[in-house]
Amino acid sequence: MSMNELLKSLSDPTRRKILNLLKERDMAVKEIAEHFDITLPSLSHHLNVLKQSDLVTYQRKGQELIYSLNMSVFEEAAAFLINFFKK
C-alpha cells in the first residue's frame, strides 16, 4: 500500500463513513448498506477501493461477506504521519 493509495481511499466521505461504521464492529454488506442511500453496486465499488488499499478485510460466512478494519494499515499510516511531523 502506498501513502497515495491510502489518502485517495480516505478522500471520499462515503468510504470514511464505512470505516467509522467498521470501527464500532465488523459488519456484513447488508448491514453497511442500511446506513447509506446508494445502490449496492456503488457500495461495492467503495468497499473494493477500501479492500485494494488494505484498509478493510473480509471473511465469507455462508452467503455473507463480513467486513472489518485492517488496523495494521492504520497503525502504519499513523506512524508515517507522526514521523512526518517530527522536528
Per-residue pLDDT of 4-62, as tens digits, reads 888 889 999 999 999 999 999 999 999 999 999 999 999 999 999 999 999 999 999 99
| Nearest Cα residue to 58 out of 19, 34, 28 | 28
- Residue 1 in this model has a pLDDT that exceeds 80: no
CA dist 42 and 23 (Å) reads 21
Compute the distance between CA of residue 76 and CA of residue 10 in angstroms, rounded to an integer: 14
Q: Give the span between the Cα atoms of 71 and 29, in whole angstroms.
A: 19
Give the up-direction half-sphere exposure of residue 2: CA atoms within 13 A in the CB hemisphere.
Answer: 3
| Full-model pTM | 0.88
